[in-house]
């Protein structure tokens, strides 16, 4: 697993380490959605029923871009029950993200339900470069 | 971790963090806790958060912590802070939290355990199939954009107007189930989209609907007034503003972070981001937060209506015969303007309750007529295996805690620790053997919310009662639980 979940009081912390930003953002999505459901099972959704999702935004720095990414993913799930499972990052720099992807439609009657993630918090939030690439830590309110 | 904090013991239930501890604190911290539970409070960084809250501009008297305090985001859970808008007082979205107006309501019935016990499993099953709960579950109540905006302006009254409950319910709801000054135009489209299919849904995590039996009465006069008697069946509902409120908080935190530099406010934790109550940002947050608070009241009103419908059909008895009256509905994540006498002078304060329940004293004009001499019902949910408690507000709470009390038992184990503790045995089966039927979307969720994951609510209640912040009225035990 390219991410780890750590404890924080009643909630969950997500720690991701990756060689590049693509890996960091992709693995963070896997970590977030594994808290919500069985993400690996959703990833096996047949291609023909997947929906197209697009994201395009800029931020002032890599941490804010990463925060925006997680908040965007959570919004897609919470409001539209869409869980992005394929990502094609057209542009991904520390300041800008442009992504075209495919999302599976979550059905609580068919898919595993784990936690309702309420929000991505700024509490002890950090994203930084390491000799081996990038690392991020974020607390998710459950 | 916080052992370096110089705690001063004031009496058996009160501790103080001196204002001198951290440069920047404007008032002392005051913690309500007994000696036995102090090590638990010291085991995380919640006391540091109590001190951090004391930095908020305009904070009055103390940064307060209730005995169920634990580590939160910016504010501790179990934190109370009142600010004076006329002295530069701020409002902080973190002082309310993501689940705006998360709260509890309690209904009485004319049923006794004997009526329910023989068909308990079927009754819990009927509730579980009727009341949407769990991750990604949609409710049956769908509103168009116009109705949604009306609902967030009117709260419980909107729901009652649509036939979800009775007019009487409003008087037995904090603030009559509606905060004035909600402005739907201040809420983002994203919040509306997240909340669109979530009205009348319970949610997940620690939210629940429980069938309970009154196990012990402490104050017969107040219990009679609240309509509860030993052996009687009650229903408790714990839920909030769902995705609508989470999004309002997220949107507001971003604006509040920008406001810090604009107004030159220094706080030691970014999650304490805030804006002066009188500023554009402060007003905007309050207007949106009130919409979310009203969403939550409408939500609990709809959930109670669904529960009443299930009971009526199940027992084939009419509403009057069942007597499922609302005892009270309290918010425990909210910011409200309330009047308090501070140093002999009445002041209108912005009271933040982050995991704290209002506890208004007898005689308060916001209480319904028949509760004027008892004080406000204070509903303290515990865990699914032991107890929940019903208390009544006191004058001492008005004097010391801006009319506030604890909101629950507080967690004793993290989710992972609770899962580890449950490994190899079924919590659901163990509870069933003790006569408690639990239905939830997953076994894991039950393990995470198992009784051992929480402190014993009775200990927390002993502390608030010993400190005089509320008076014990009744103790209930759960017999049926539905969870997300």
Q: Is B337 on the interface with A (CB under 8 A)?
A: no
- Token digits of residue B413: 């184990």
pLDDT value at position A2?
A: 85
> Which positions in chain B touch A142 (Cβ < 8 Å)?
205, 415
CATH code where residue B245 lies: 3.90.1860.10
Phi-psi region of B217 (alpha: psi -120 to 50; beta: other; left: phi over 0): beta
Compute the distance between CA of residue A9 and CA of residue B70 in angstroms, rounded to an integer: 8
DSSP result, A76-120: HHHHH-EEEEEEEEEEEETTEEEEEEEEEEP-TTTS-------EE
Mean pLDDT computed over A13-25: 97
Interface check A123 vs B, CB under 8 A? yes
CB proximity list for B458: less than 8 A, separation 6 or greater: B382, B386, B387, B389, B475
B289 domain residue, yes or no: yes
Residue B332 annotated in active site: no
Nearest to B377 by CA among B224, B199, B157, B247: B224
Kindly give, in sequence order, each residue whose CB lies less than 8 Å from that of residue B369, ignoring residues fewer than 6 positions away: none
User: What is the domain range of residue B237?
Assistant: 8-412+454-483
Domain annotation covers residue B232:
yes
Q: Do residues B161 and B147 make contact, with C-beta atoms less than 8 angstroms apart?
A: no
**Does A38 touch chain B if contact means CB atoms closer than 8 Å?**
no
Q: Do B205 and A142 touch (CB under 8 A)?
A: yes
CA distance B63 to B80: 6
Q: Does the residue B341 lie in any domain?
A: yes
The DSSP element (H or E) to which B349 belongs, if any, is strand B345-354
B137 touches chain A (CB under 8 A): yes
Asked whether residue B437 is domain-assigned, the answer is no
Compare CB distances from A123 to B73, B190, B243 and report the shortest one's residue.
Answer: B73
Cα–Cα distance list, B116 to B16, B121, B123, B312 (Å): 47, 9, 8, 13
In chain A, which residues have their Cβ closer than 8 Å to the Cβ of B414?
7-10
Rounded to the nearest 5°, which phi and psi values hold at B256?
-65, -35
B138 domain residue, yes or no: yes
- The ranges assigned to domains in chain A are 3-141
Q: Based on C-alpha coordinates, what's the Rg of chain B?
A: 21
Digitized pLDDT (tens) for each residue of chain B, 484 residues in all: 445 889 999 999 999 999 999 999 999 999 999 999 899 889 889 999 999 999 999 999 999 999 999 989 899 999 999 999 999 999 999 999 999 999 999 999 999 999 999 999 999 999 999 999 999 889 999 999 999 999 999 999 999 999 999 999 999 999 999 999 999 999 999 999 999 999 999 999 899 999 999 999 999 999 999 999 999 999 999 999 999 999 999 999 999 999 999 999 999 999 999 999 999 999 999 999 999 999 999 999 999 999 999 999 999 999 999 999 999 999 999 999 999 999 999 999 999 999 999 999 999 999 999 999 999 999 999 999 999 999 999 999 999 999 999 999 988 888 888 999 999 889 999 999 999 999 998 788 899 999 999 989 999 999 999 999 999 999 999 999 999 8
Q: How many independent structural domains does chain B possess?
A: 1
What ipTM score was computed for the predicted complex, to two decimals?
0.94
Query: In the CATH hierarchy, which fold is given to the domain comprising A3-141?
Result: Archease, Possible Chaperone; Chain: A; domain 1 (3.55.10)
* A119 at interface of B, judged by CB pairs closer than 8 A: yes
CB-CB contact of B26 with B55 (8 Å): yes
Helix/strand/coil for B463: helix
B311 class by beta-carbon count within 10 Å (0-12 exposed, 13-18 middle, 19+ buried):
buried
Check CB contact of B253 with chain A, cutoff 8 Å. Answer: yes
Asked if residue B438 belongs to a domain, the reply is no
Chain A nearest CA to B396, separation (Å): 31
Q: Count CA within 13 A, CB hemisphere, residue A9.
A: 21
The SS3 of residue B353 is strand
Q: Which of B135, B257, B416 to mutate to test the interface with A (most CBs of A within 10 A)?
A: B135
d(CA B203, CA B367): 29
Using a CB–CB cutoff of 8 Å, tell me whether A126 touches chain B. Answer: no
Answer yes or no: is B123 within a domain: yes
Structure tokens at B333: 């994540």
Strands ordered across the beta sheet of B77-83: B8-11, B14-17, B29-32, B63-70, B77-83, B345-354, B333-342
> A101-136: per-residue pLDDT in tens?
999 999 999 999 999 999 999 988 999 999 999 999
H or E element at residue B145 = helix B145-154
CA atoms in the 13 A half-sphere facing the CB of B149: 9
- Which residues in A lie closer than 8 A to residue B257 (C-beta atoms)? 122
Angstrom distance (rounded) from CA B124 to CA B440: 10
pLDDT band for position A1 (cuts 50, 70, 90): low
Which of A4, A7, A10 should we substitute to test contact with B (largest number of B Cβ atoms within 10 Å)?
A10
Residues B22, B26, B28, B33: is their CA dihedral positive or negative?
A: negative
Tell me the pLDDT tens digit for each residue of B198-215. 999 999 989 999 999 999
pLDDT, residue B2, reads 47
Per the domain annotation, does B423 fall within a domain?
A: no
Neighboring chain B residues of A8 at a CB cutoff of 8 Å: 71, 414
The verdict on a CB contact (< 8 Å) between A10 and B70 is yes
Mutation for testing the B interface, residue in A113, A117, A124, A142 having most B CBs under 10 Å: A113
Cβ separation A10–B415 shorter than 8 A: yes
pLDDT at B43: 87
């Amino acid at each position: 697993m390219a991410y780890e979940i750590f404890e924080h009081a009643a909630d969950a912390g997500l720690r991701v380490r990756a060689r590049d930003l693509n890996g960091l953002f992709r693995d963070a999505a896997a970590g977030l959605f594994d808290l919500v459901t069985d993400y690996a099972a959703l990833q096996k959704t047949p291609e023909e029923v997947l929906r197209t999702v697009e994201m395009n935004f800029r931020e002032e720095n890599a941490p804010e871009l990463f925060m925006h990414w997680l908040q965007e993913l959570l919004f897609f799930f919470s409001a539209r029950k869409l869980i992005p499972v394929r990502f094609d990052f057209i542009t991904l720099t520390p300041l800008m993200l442009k992504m075209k992807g495919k999302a599976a439609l979550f059905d609580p009657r068919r898919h595993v339900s784990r936690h309702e993630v309420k929000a991505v918090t700024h509490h002890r939030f950090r994203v930084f470069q390491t000799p081996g690439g990038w690392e991020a830590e974020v607390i998710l309110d459950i | 971790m916080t052992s370096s904090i110089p705690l001063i013991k004031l009496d058996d239930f009160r501790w103080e963090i001196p204002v001198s501890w951290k440069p920047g604190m404007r008032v002392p911290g005051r913690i309500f806790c007994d000696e036995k539970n102090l090590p638990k409070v010291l085991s995380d960084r919640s006391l540091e958060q109590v001190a951090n809250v004391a930095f908020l501009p305009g904070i009055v008297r103390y940064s307060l912590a209730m005995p169920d305090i634990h580590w939160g985001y910016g504010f501790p859970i179990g934190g109370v802070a009142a600010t004076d808008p006329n002295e530069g007082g701020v409002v902080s979205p973190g002082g309310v939290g993501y689940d705006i107006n998360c709260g509890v309501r309690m209904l009485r019935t004319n049923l006794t355990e004997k009526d329910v016990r023989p068909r308990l499993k079927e009754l819990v099953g009927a509730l579980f199939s009727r009341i949407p709960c769990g991750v990604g579950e949609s409710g049956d109540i769908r509103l168009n954009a116009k109705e949604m905006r009306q609902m967030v302006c009117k709260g419980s009254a909107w729901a009652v107007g649509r036939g979800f409950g009775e007019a009487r319910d409003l008087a037995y709801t904090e603030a009559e189930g509606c905060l004035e000054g909600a402005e739907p135009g201040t809420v983002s489209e994203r919040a509306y989209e997240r909340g669109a299919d979530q009205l009348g849904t319970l949610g997940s995590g620690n939210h629940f609907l429980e069938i309970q039996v009154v196990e012990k009465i402490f104050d017969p006069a107040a219990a009679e007034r609240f309509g509860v008697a030993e052996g009687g069946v009650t229903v408790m509902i714990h839920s909030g503003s769902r995705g609508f409120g989470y999004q309002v908080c997220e949107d507001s935190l971003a604006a509040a972070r920008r406001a810090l530099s604009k107004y030159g406010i220094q706080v030691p934790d970014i999650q304490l981001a805030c804006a002066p109550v009188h500023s554009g940002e402060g007003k905007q947050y309050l207007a949106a937060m009130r919409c979310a608070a009203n969403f939550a009241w409408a939500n609990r009103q709809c959930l109670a209506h669904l529960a009443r419908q299930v009971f009526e059909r199940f027992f084939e008895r009419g509403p009057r015969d069942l007597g499922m009256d609302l005892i009270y509905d309290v918010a425990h994540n909210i910011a409200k303007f309330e009047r308090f006498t501070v140093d002999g002078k009445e002041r209108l304060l912005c009271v933040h309750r982050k995991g704290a329940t209002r506890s208004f004293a007898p005689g308060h004009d916001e209480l319904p007529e028949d509760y004027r001499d008892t004080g406000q019902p204070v509903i303290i949910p515990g865990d699914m295996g032991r107890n929940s408690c019903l208390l009544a507000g006191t004058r001492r709470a008005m004097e010391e805690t801006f009319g506030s009390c604890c909101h629950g038992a507080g967690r004793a184990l993290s989710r992972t620790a609770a899962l580890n503790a449950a490994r190899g045995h079924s919590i659901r089966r163990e509870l069933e053997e003790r006569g408690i039927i639990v239905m939830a979307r997953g076994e894991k969720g039950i393990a995470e919310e198992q009784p051992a994951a929480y402190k014993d609510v009775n200990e927390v209640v002993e502390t608030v009662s010993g400190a005089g912040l509320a008076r014990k009225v009744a103790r209930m035990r759960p017999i049926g639980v539905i969870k997300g």
